[in-house]
Amino acid sequence: MNNHLSGAPELALEWHRAGRGAVLATVVETWGSAPRRVGAQMVVSGDGQIEGSVSGGCVEGAVMVEALEALEKGVSRLLEFGVSDGDAFAVGLACGGTIRVMVEPVGVILSEQVLADLVDARAERRAVAYVCDPEKGGGRLVSGGFEQRFRMDRSGIGEDGRFVAIHNPPLRVVIVGAVHIAQDFVPMARIAGFDPILVDPRSAFGSDARFPGEAILDDWPDDAMDAIGLDARTALVLLTHDPKLDDPALHKALKSNAFYLGALGSKRTHAKRVERLQEAGFTHSEIERIHGPIGLDIGAAGPSEIAVSILSEMIQVLRKST
């Protein structure tokens, strides 16, 4: 998983169930140039092992000491640290800041069942929020009511004083067409935090030699869409120019809640695509979801610049759509 919450809940549950003891430490508030964003987590075992980070290295030692004491006493703690200019510079920032960290021992404060449900939701790609009083910890999971926070991946303290930790599924991008643009696009998407999945039934295109180490499905695109499961954290990028490949994927995607649908081709090509979709019974509002021609109009020339324009448009839609 690529998001900033990745791994800590799973490890906390594993350590707790193994009898080692576990404490989750979560950044609940920041001011200034804090090294980690709100929602960042680290987990501390009862024998002093730590994984994750709440400050990029500035205060982890102090958090571990507080976490072990909280575990021994069976209490939650809300810690505040000022990250000095010197420490901030050491982790790559121009100036310091302040962070507030909530410490929750698992089992005593953070319910094992709530943590297990959170781990299950993450494994099943279900977006959930962990909501609690940051002074007391021991919250509950909710699956709705924070649409803006879910869309923006933004954990934080609300006007009512409750802390909301957003646990979104990792972002994915499904690319139909293992073509030359995809060779530039896939590593860019991965750097930006997307897990890429390539779909191309043509073995000469979708090969490990051309895309080493990447997930490649050689199914027909409509079958691949069913196998993948397009959800609100998934983008679909169509790069083949071939209606036999692009259209079956679009038929599935237009009935899904994938956050982005983009199709390569000129305005003329897209007009023909629209005609085919209308003939297939898709509505105007459904067809309007497609970004075609694909990508932001930045005057892109060549595969790598087209890849940049596509990725930029995906992020714009994800972060700025209403």
Q: What is the DSSP track for 27-96?
A: EEEEEES-SS-TT-EEEEETTS-EEE-SSTTSSHHHHHHHHHHHHHHT--EEEEEEE-HHHHHHTT-SS-
Write down the pTM of the prediction. 0.76
Q: In 3D, which of 71, 56, 59 has the Cα closest to residue 24?
A: 71
Q: Counting runs of H as helices and runs of E as strands, what totals does the chain give?
A: 11, 15
Q: Under CATH, which number does the domain 171-320 receive? A: 3.40.50.720
Length of the chain: 322
pLDDT computed for residue 93 by the predictor: 43
Which pLDDT belongs to residue 4?
39
Neighbour tally for 19: CB within 10 Å:
8
**What pLDDT score was predicted for residue 144?**
85
33, 70, 133, 222, 283 from 226: Cα distances, Å: 43, 46, 40, 7, 21
Task: Using alpha carbons, select from 96, 105, 162 the residue that is nearest to residue 129.
Answer: 162
Residue 296's pLDDT is 96
In the sheet that holds 41-45, the strands lie side by side as 50-52, 41-45, 22-32, 97-105, 77-83
Could you read off the pLDDT tens digit of each residue along the chain, which spans 322 residues?
333 344 899 999 999 999 999 999 999 998 776 667 899 999 999 999 999 888 766 788 889 999 999 999 999 999 998 766 555 445 444 445 788 999 999 999 999 999 999 999 999 989 999 999 999 999 999 998 898 898 788 999 999 999 999 999 989 999 999 999 999 999 999 999 999 999 999 988 988 899 999 999 999 999 999 999 999 899 999 999 899 999 999 999 999 999 999 999 999 999 999 999 999 999 999 999 999 999 999 999 999 999 999 999 999 999 886 4
Domain residues of the chain, as ranges? Answer: 8-167, 171-320
pLDDT, residue 30, reads 87
The 10 Å Cβ neighbour count of residue 311 is: 22
Write down the residue that tokens 């009511």 correspond to: 145
Rounded to an integer, what distance in angstroms lies between the CA atom of residue 111 and that of residue 267?
55
